[in-house]
Amino acid sequence: MSFWETFYKNKLALTGSGIVLLLFLVSLFAPWVAPYDPGQIDLKNVLLAPSMNHLFGTDQLGRDVLSRMIWGARISLKVGFVATGVAIIIGTLLGAVAGYYGGWIDAVIMRFVDIMLCFPTFFLILAVIAFLEPSIWNIMIIIGLTGWMGVTRLVRADFISLRERDFVQAARVIGAGDLRIIFGHILPNAMASILVAATLGIAGAILTESALSFLGIGVQPPTPSWGNILTAGKDNIDIAWWLSLYPGLAILITVVGYNLLGEGIRDSLDPRLKK
């Protein structure tokens, strides 16, 4: 059974891919989908409850919450892809070198991974951001630089199992160099695990960015972000429940969607589930 046949039979995976696709389309067409300018202040319509004019209500400055959430989806996607891309590149390179060469190189890299894993990732991010300007690019790079350890261990395990396969031995016999073997022969066979890790990593990066923005050290206003919309909801929780409910649901659904997609890809690539 092929990958696509297995994937199409997985209803949860299809649900996750539908959520991810919808989020991508909303982000892509935000200028046309958003009913209002996300930065437009209207002090005459402060903290309006959801209505036909403002489906998700307005915030403390009279800005349309739905429009801000639609534009905030762009921030979430940008953070997810860039941060995960940084983590995947670092983790893949270190894992490939450790798994292929082994010996003292493997020992040094994996001890460094163990040291990094000793630090709580979120608090490590908080400590780094405390010394830097809380810009969107700093957030993305920092999340990526603190999220590569799991990818390293995953890629290393794949390389250890693949480096002694017959096709690798044949490449050595014909005189292929280490770089050609690593990137031309072994890495393509490890891409399935990397793809799953990337999909799940995007969900984690979006959740981390939302938490940082909620604490006030992530994406800074007036740039809309689901996290800083939640901050406004916290300040007005007694009178404006919609400021907490809708961005919270958006974060929940997005993270669940990416997790379902990642699980579906993993199950579809698992040969033990194919008949």
pLDDT in tens, 77-122: 888 899 999 999 999 999 999 999 988 999 999 999 998 888 777 7
The model's pTM: 0.86
- Has residue 209 been placed in a domain? yes
Question: pLDDT tens, 200-224?
Answer: 898 888 888 888 888 877 787 788 8
CATH classification at residue 89: 1.10.3720.10
Task: Let me know if residue 260 belongs to a domain.
Answer: yes
Residue 44: inside a domain, yes or no?
A: no
| 147-197 tens-digit pLDDT | 899 999 999 998 998 888 888 888 888 888 888 888 888 888 888 888 888
Question: Do the domain assignments include residue 113?
Answer: yes
**Residue (of 75, 70, 180, 57) closest to 135 by Cα position:** 75
**203 lies in some domain:** yes
How many distinct structural domains can be found in the chain? 1
Share of the chain above pLDDT 90, in %: 23
- Helix, strand or coil, per DSSP, at residue 174: coil
Q: What is the pLDDT of residue 1?
A: 56
| Confidence check: pLDDT of 273 > 80 | no
Confirm whether 190 is domain-assigned.
yes
Q: Which domain holds residue 100?
A: 3-26+56-270
**Is residue 127 one of the residues assigned to a domain?**
yes
The reply to whether 93 falls in a domain is: yes
pLDDT for position 270: 62
